[in-house]
């Protein structure tokens, strides 16, 4: 094996590029855009590397494979923060906290005073929580920029092209990592709409991602440093609409206000919307047909699962090892 072309330079394509370069494969990266930006779903991610928390609603492989992610990103970039994550609920929603605890592992229960020791700016608002100490988070845009720079520095070529992977595959090994845009070929791929906000609120300091449980719209807040926060994210089936709805913004902002009323004075820097690429069971898939491999379906686990997905693509190409997320559907 000498060379491979990767179509799509979001988190999936960049991680596959890194994994192949690390194993001595020449890489050509193709994207319709010159650089990573708001056109890619990866741009809008919260960047939580929280496999145990995800276990609340995700299948077992997400928890297991996601545990590779923090070390992988820390080895490849400087964007990782290892401060754990904190899950809290209002007094009214303590049943949700108990349910979350039953469905997850890797945490310790924390009292109100332990919560305010961990995050003084949450004050005494919460009396119980779960602290997932081994979890991490990263700044997705920084991580993507660093990863892209490193693969280009290590010899990957970049071509800007609105590409048809099937045509590239006629010339050599091609990996389709176009995320939701691959729906033209992956008919069982669906979009799950996510809406998020970037807020500036210098009056609040938080160290780690906070999840606020709520029966209708669970919210998370990821600190980006310097008073900037990512607030997310809705999960709407059917990728309806390209813009955020008033209801989503109201619910996200009122949840932030419940975490700390100082968020009432926050400036809204960005409103982001995109479709997470997902298969029916919300697990990623690798499909192969001759020279063409499609790696997709990262759903809400782009940064969490792309390292494992990339490792499996490299194992398939180099060692002919069948990935555990391979399915028999032709690519």
Ligand X SMILES: Cc1cc2nc3c(=O)[nH]c(=O)nc-3n(C[C@H](O)[C@H](O)[C@H](O)COP(=O)(O)OP(=O)(O)OC[C@H]3O[C@@H](n4cnc5c(N)ncnc54)[C@H](O)[C@@H]3O)c2cc1C
- Asked whether the bond before 252 is cis by omega within 30 degrees of 0, the reply is no
Smallest separation, CB 144 to ligand X (Å)? 9
Q: How far apart are CA 303 and CA 307, in angstroms?
A: 7
Using rule CB under 6 A, residue 25 touches ligand X: no
Judged by CB, which is closer to ligand X: 128, or 181? 181
How far apart, in Å, are the Cα atoms of 88 and each of 68, 94, 129, 280?
A: 25, 9, 5, 29
Using rule CB under 6 A, residue 46 touches ligand X: yes
Residues 243-302 contacting ligand X, CB under 6 A = 272, 274, 276-277, 298-302
Q: How far apart are CA 330 and CA 310, in angstroms?
A: 19
The radius of gyration computed from the CA coordinates of the chain, to the nearest angstrom, equals: 20
> What character string, x for contact with ligand X (CB under 6 A) and - otherwise, covers 149-188?
-------------xx-------------xxxxx-------
> What one-character DSSP code corresponds to residue 166?
H
Contacting range for ligand X; rule: CB under 6 A; set: 4-12, 93-101, 107-115, 263-271: 4-12
> What character string, x for contact with ligand X (CB under 6 A) and - otherwise, covers 233-252?
x-------------------
Smallest separation, CB 299 to ligand X (Å)? 6
Judged by CB, which is closer to ligand X: 42, or 104? 42
104: nearest Cα among 45, 62, 46, 69: 62
Residue 49 has phi, psi (to 5 degrees) of -105, 75
Judged by CB, which is closer to ligand X: 128, or 165? 165
Smallest separation, CB 112 to ligand X (Å)? 27
Residues 93-132 contacting ligand X, CB under 6 A = none
In the set 4, 11, 143, 314, which binds ligand X (CB under 6 A)? 11
Q: With both helix axes pointing from N to C terminus, report the angle between 69-76 and 302-319 in degrees, rounded to the nearest 10.
A: 80
Residue ranges of E strands in the chain: 3-7, 26-31, 48-49, 80-81, 85-89, 108-111, 128-132, 136-138, 157-160, 174-176, 190-200, 210-213, 219-225, 228-232, 236-237, 267-278, 285-289, 292-296
Smallest separation, CB 319 to ligand X (Å)? 23
Smallest separation, CB 242 to ligand X (Å)? 12
Q: How far apart are CA 261 and CA 122, in angstroms?
A: 10
DSSP H stretches of helix in 239-301: 246-259
In the set 4, 5, 8, 107, which binds ligand X (CB under 6 A)? 8
Residue 262 has phi, psi (to 5 degrees) of -60, -20
> What character string, x for contact with ligand X (CB under 6 A) and - otherwise, covers 201-240?
-------------------------------xx-------
Q: How many residues bind ligand X (CB under 6 A)?
A: 42
List contacts with ligand X (CB under 6 A): 7-13, 30-33, 39-42, 44-48, 162-163, 177-181, 194, 196, 232-233, 272, 274, 276-277, 298-304
């Amino acid at each position: 094996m000498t060379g491979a072309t990767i179509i799509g330079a979001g988190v999936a394509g960049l991680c596959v590029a890194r994994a192949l370069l690390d194993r001595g494969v020449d890489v050509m990266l193709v994207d319709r855009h010159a650089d990573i930006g708001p056109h890619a779903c990866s741009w809008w991610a919260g960047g939580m590397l929280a496999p145990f928390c995800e276990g609340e609603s995700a299948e077992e492989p997400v928890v297991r494979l996601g545990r590779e992610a923090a070390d992988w990103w820390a080895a490849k970039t400087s964007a990782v923060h290892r401060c754990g994550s904190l899950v809290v609920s209002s007094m009214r929603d303590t049943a949700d906290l108990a349910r979350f605890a039953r469905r997850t592992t890797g945490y310790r229960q924390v009292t109100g005073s332990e919560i305010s020791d961990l995050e003084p700016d949450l004050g005494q608002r919460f009396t119980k929580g779960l602290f997932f100490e081994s979890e991490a988070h990263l700044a997705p845009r920084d991580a993507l920029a660093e990863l892209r720079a490193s693969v280009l520095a290590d010899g990957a070529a970049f071509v800007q092209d609105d590409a048809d992977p099937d045509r590239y595959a006629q010339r050599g090994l091609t990996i389709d990592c176009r995320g939701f845009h691959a729906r033209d070929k992956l008919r069982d791929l669906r979009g799950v709409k996510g809406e998020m906000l970037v807020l500036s609120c210098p009056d609040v300091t938080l160290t780690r991602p906070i999840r606020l449980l709520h029966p209708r719209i669970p919210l998370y807040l990821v600190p980006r440093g310097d008073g900037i926060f990512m607030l997310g994210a809705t999960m709407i089936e059917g990728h309806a609409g390209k813009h955020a709805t008033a209801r989503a913004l109201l619910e996200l902002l009122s949840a932030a206000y419940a975490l700390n009323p100082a968020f009432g004075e926050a400036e809204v820097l960005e409103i982001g919307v995109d479709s997470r690429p997902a298969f029916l069971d919300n697990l990623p898939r690798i499909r192969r047909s001759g020279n063409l491999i499609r790696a997709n379906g990262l759903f809400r686990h782009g940064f969490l699962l792309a390292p494992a997905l990339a490792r499996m693509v490299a194992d398939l190409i180099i060692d002919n090892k069948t990935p555990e997320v391979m399915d028999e559907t032709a690519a």
